[in-house]
Structure 1
Amino acid sequence: MPELPEVEAAKRLVSSHCLGGTIVKAIVDNDVKVIDGLTPAQLQEALEGKKILTAHRRGKHMWLQLNCPRWPTFQFGMSGAIIVKGVKGPTYKSSKVNEDEEFPTQYSKVHLKLDTGVELAFTDKRRFARVRLLEDPEKVAPISELGPDAYLELPSPEDLITSVKSKKGAIKALLLDQSFLAGIGNWVGDEVLYQAKIHPEQPANSLKEEEITKLHTSIKEVLDKAVSVDADSEQFPQTWLFHHRWDRKPGMIEGNQIETITISGRTSAFVPNIQKYSGPELKGAKTKSIAEGELPHEGEEMGEPDSDEIVAAGEMVVEKAGTSETPKRGRGRPPKAKGDSAVKSSPAAPSPAAATDNASPAGAKKRGRPPKLKTAPASAEDKTDVEETQKDSPSEPKRRGRPPKAKADASKEAVSKALEDDEDDDAAEVEDIADVDTALASPVTPKRRGRPPKAKPEATEELEITKKAKVGKDEEGTASPAGSAEPKRRGRPPKAKPETDEGEVAEAAAATPTPKKRGRPPKAKSAS
């Protein structure tokens, strides 16, 4: 990046070849990012026909003074450069300009042709530079906001001591502040701190007076040398850090390792063996054991903690947590509370002991659905009480999902009773059949959501046998009651059965249990 030495070299190049010339043609690139605040046509009209009187520089900014106001200013950014056709200019470490390539280059933003035959161009490869047109550059921003020029207006050692002592930040960040000293950039800042043997993260107000005096001397020597050779890095002293700081993994200088850190968003290179840090403890410098709460004794190396130390650390965490001993867990649903046994109490009558055992610790917040309560009876008697309470509870506990299918045992008993009562009289049979229907619709069956369950095939078949037996009696001379009509069946109707005696039908129904089958019911066997 062009810093004070490079911009000073560009100013001297213009002063040597372009002063007194009149701009006869201005070619401005249509780059709205670099050409700041005006169109290419406006800048072209403002430059053509004007004479260049002199060139000025302050910090990293340069401007041309013309014979009438509104002067062009150039902020070099990361890769800005001034090229004069046919003249070797300053060579940057980060952005070298080859004088042998075609002029103007493809990166030219402003190209000026003078009546003296000299051609001048301002180029920028990375487009961080800015070209402006200002009435009086020294009185308006951004140039008016700059501090004293580090090369032309360097404060005295006494003034520099007073100024540095009043600042709190790192010394490298202070040097990069253009409102403090204009013109010092990243590489110049690293070089002057290396020459003064000052750590870049050293707080400015913690520096001693002799260290600030060294810093003043270093700034003056580095800038004088760099400007004297027109910022040609090949002529910089070989003892400078400049020649070793550019690689991503810096090497060695005079047998000492070079390291890099980031300060104010810029990568800073320094030599720890030479630039010692003597300020307060830096952020992020804590060791792993300190971060975990274990402080080593003085002069003692930090090793692996033994079992006693681990237990003590665990107790310290529990004490800090307050009354709750539950360790912190990650996000999501907390685990279900575990009881002393697997016995669950009825929601209708939980025992006091269970409520006490499953109470959550005071102040312990949990996310998600609360855990289910689990009971732990203190003895066998408590367990018996819980079972009796569950049996005596009038309300059936709520269940999630589809309820279980009703068992057909009650239906079978009702059918058997109806068959036995068939032998008594017709009226009793009719009442028993009604009882069978009522039994099948008994409130024993729990309520179901959605479609009701299908009737069990065993109860249906036995009921049909009973009703057919009744129909057989009616055909012999007894009128069938109104409610004894044969129930509707789906699918193919069963084949007609030959007439048989009541006793045979009853005996066959009682002796032959109907097997469970799915689908169509089996055909009735005829009595021989």
Structure 2
Amino acid sequence: MPELPEVEAARRILEVHCVGREITLVDAAADERQGPMPTMHFGMTGYIAVRDPAGEMHIVAYENAPQGAGSWPPRFHKLLLHFGPHPDKPDGPASCEFAYCDARRFGRQAGLKLVDGDPASCEAMTKLGFDPLLDLPSLEQFAAALAAKAKGAARLKPLLLDQSFCAGVGNWVADEVLWQSRLHPEQLLSALQPQHIAALHTALRDVVQTAVAANADSSRFPDDWMFHIRWGKKAGSLAGHKIDHITVGSRTSCYVPALQKLIGG
């Protein structure tokens, strides 16, 4: 599924090609709900595509992106928006098109929803944790947030995947952050020391910022990132050590046992 870097890359596509243009035509799949503001939840299969005035298609690819994304309109499109000329650029391109696509049924299970008022105030948004790109807490605040979650057998990887704690971090970002900070996916929160929390905070910031700066293009990610070898539970090595795959909180986790060891037992 797309994670924060892929979603940010999609947002940038819309900002470059669509912001400021007048919507001249809306072609939406049938839906009973009413509301003035669309919100889009990509889930496992949702994505957006833009066809610019030259006919070039812009799409952010990710592991589960559906096939057929190269045609127009894309397969499983649920919403098509046609944009007129940009009012501040009268001599610029005449038009462009936007598509929201999702293989899920258009209805209660679909990722396209219409909300009244400020989208940030809708229930789903208010339940999200901090944004590690735009609103990363200070080290002190981050340490306090971890301490508040360090109850019983609470472990690190499930917390990173908890969207109410940290929004936009999914499986590959969490694995990369844990690799960069040399922390075990099953690490107990209660055993983390200040130096471990500092390493985790730095890795979270650096992984997200680096992936966003690369526009979510994995070919531009650093060569020493786990991202390049973590997929498919295949054998491999990092920094001269064997990688392994385990299940943590029902999610597959890739790590390097020799370098990512459990702390405090």
Aligned equivalent of 1:397: none
Using the TM superposition, give the Cα deviation of residue 248 of structure 1 relative to its aligned residue in structure 2, in angstroms. 2.9
CA contact (8 A) 1:79 1:129 kept: no
Q: How far apart in 1 are the matches of 2:136 and 2:68?
A: 33
Q: How far apart in 2 are the matches of 1:126 and 1:196?
A: 36
Cα deviation code 1:254-304 (max 9, x no counterpart): 332211122222111111011011244xxxxxxxxxxxxxxxxxxxxxxxx
Cα distance 1:226–1:133, how it changes in 2: closer, same or farther (>3 A)?
same
Cα distance 1:216–1:255, how it changes in 2: closer, same or farther (>3 A)?
same
Tell me if 1:20 matches 2:1: no
Tell me if 1:244 matches 2:229: yes
Q: How far apart in 2 are the matches of 1:131 and 1:252?
A: 40
Q: How far apart in 2 are the matches of 1:179 and 1:216?
A: 17
Q: How far apart in 1 are the matches of 2:182 and 2:74?
A: 42
Aligned equivalent of 1:507: none
Residue identity opposite 1:78 in structure 2: M
Q: How far apart in 1 are the matches of 2:73 and 2:15?
A: 20
**1:53-452 equivalences in 2 (<5 Å):** 70-85=36-51, 86-95=56-65, 101-116=70-85, 117-125=95-103, 130-135=111-116, 136-167=118-149, 168=151, 169-280=154-265
CA contact (8 A) 1:166 1:205 kept: no
Q: Which runs of 5+ in 1 are unaligned?
A: 31-37, 47-69, 281-528
Q: How far apart in 2 are the matches of 1:279 and 1:29?
A: 54
SS in 1 for 2:231: coil
Using the TM superposition, give the Cα deviation of residue 98 of structure 1 relative to its aligned residue in structure 2, in angstroms. 7.2
Residue identity opposite 2:102 in structure 1: D
Q: How far apart in 1 are the matches of 2:148 and 2:8?
A: 30
Cα distance 1:125–1:258, how it changes in 2: closer, same or farther (>3 A)?
farther
**1:457-472 equivalences in 2 (<5 Å):** none
Q: How far apart in 2 are the matches of 1:17 and 1:258?
A: 41
Using the TM superposition, give the Cα deviation of residue 204 of structure 1 relative to its aligned residue in structure 2, in angstroms. 1.1
TM-score by length of 2: 0.86
Q: How far apart in 2 are the matches of 1:144 and 1:77?
A: 18
CA contact (8 A) 2:25 2:81 kept: yes
SS in 2 for 1:166: helix
> Which one has a larger percent strand, Structure 1 or Structure 2?
2
Using the TM superposition, give the Cα deviation of residue 126 of structure 1 relative to its aligned residue in structure 2, in angstroms. 5.8
TM-score by length of 1: 0.44
Q: How far apart in 1 are the matches of 2:221 and 2:21?
A: 33
Residue identity opposite 1:110 in structure 2: L
Aligned equivalent of 1:492: none
Cα distance 1:102–1:259, how it changes in 2: closer, same or farther (>3 A)?
same
Aligned equivalent of 1:370: none
Q: How far apart in 2 are the matches of 1:73 and 1:235?
A: 29
Using the TM superposition, give the Cα deviation of residue 252 of structure 1 relative to its aligned residue in structure 2, in angstroms. 2.1
Cα distance 1:110–1:74, how it changes in 2: closer, same or farther (>3 A)?
same
Q: How far apart in 2 are the matches of 1:98 and 1:204?
A: 43
Using the TM superposition, give the Cα deviation of residue 93 of structure 1 relative to its aligned residue in structure 2, in angstroms. 3.5
Using the TM superposition, give the Cα deviation of residue 129 of structure 1 relative to its aligned residue in structure 2, in angstroms. 5.2
Q: How far apart in 1 are the matches of 2:21 and 2:164?
A: 34
SS in 1 for 2:165: coil
The percent of aligned pairs where both chains have the same amino acid is 41
CA contact (8 A) 2:68 2:75 kept: no
SS in 2 for 1:16: helix
Using the TM superposition, give the Cα deviation of residue 250 of structure 1 relative to its aligned residue in structure 2, in angstroms. 3.8
Residue identity opposite 1:122 in structure 2: Y
Cα deviation code 1:166-188 (max 9, x no counterpart): 22311111111111111111110
CA contact (8 A) 1:190 1:270 kept: yes
SS in 2 for 1:88: strand
SS in 2 for 1:276: coil
Using the TM superposition, give the Cα deviation of residue 142 of structure 1 relative to its aligned residue in structure 2, in angstroms. 0.4
Report 1 or 2 for greater relative contact order, CA contacts < 8 Å, sequence distance ≥ 6: 2
Q: Which runs of 5+ in 2 are unaligned?
A: 86-94
CA RMSD of superposed structures (Å):
2.0
Q: How far apart in 1 are the matches of 2:247 and 2:190?
A: 20
Residue identity opposite 1:273 in structure 2: A
Q: How far apart in 1 are the matches of 2:58 and 2:29?
A: 23
Using the TM superposition, give the Cα deviation of residue 247 of structure 1 relative to its aligned residue in structure 2, in angstroms. 1.3
Residue identity opposite 1:158 in structure 2: E
Cα distance 1:235–1:163, how it changes in 2: closer, same or farther (>3 A)?
same
Q: How far apart in 2 are the matches of 1:216 and 1:129?
A: 34
Q: How far apart in 2 are the matches of 1:235 and 1:194?
A: 18
Using the TM superposition, give the Cα deviation of residue 21 of structure 1 relative to its aligned residue in structure 2, in angstroms. 1.8
Using the TM superposition, give the Cα deviation of residue 122 of structure 1 relative to its aligned residue in structure 2, in angstroms. 1.0
Using the TM superposition, give the Cα deviation of residue 138 of structure 1 relative to its aligned residue in structure 2, in angstroms. 1.2
Cα distance 1:4–1:190, how it changes in 2: closer, same or farther (>3 A)?
same
SS in 2 for 1:142: helix
Q: Which runs of 4+ in 1 moved over 6 A?
A: 96-99
CA contact (8 A) 2:68 2:74 kept: no
